[in-house]
Amino acid sequence: MRKFLIATLLSVASLASFAGVDVNKASAADLDSIKGVGPSTSTRIIEARKTAPFKDWNDLVKRVPGIAEKRAAQLSAQGLTVNGEAYKPGTTQVVVKPADRKVSDTKSAPPPAASGSR
């Protein structure tokens, strides 16, 4: 009976340790416990969260500098969640700012040549 109780307690403890850390509810220490999140990232997350809770992973990626799709996938694999949801690749929207465009993208075509005689 004693072995059964110990085994049960260990399995409950292992399930609790695997539970995700929700970015909207986590303390700095909770965030730091995620592999890949250090003090600077946890500070940026908490500062961005002060304005409003994160709605989804897309919102987190847009508002927290240093977290893009690749890193979001890595953090999610380590147990970080947004509103209890794991990151799903391809769900974030990449926003291209005008300054990010290449010069060749902004050039317009030359005006068409005039036809006919003068």
For residue 17, the model assigns a pLDDT of 45
Cα Rg of the chain (Å, integer):
24
* Longest CA span, the chain: 106
For residue 89, the model assigns a pLDDT of 85
pLDDT tens per residue, range 63-85: 999 999 999 999 999 999 999 99
Dist CA 85 CA 11 (whole Å): 23
pLDDT tens per residue, range 7-65: 544 444 444 445 689 999 999 999 999 999 999 999 999 999 999 999 999 999 999 99
Integer angstrom CA distances of residue 91 from 22, 61, 100: 18, 11, 21
Integer angstrom CA distances of residue 18 from 27, 42, 79: 17, 19, 7
Say what the pTM is: 0.62
* Structural domains for the chain: 19-95 (1.10.150)
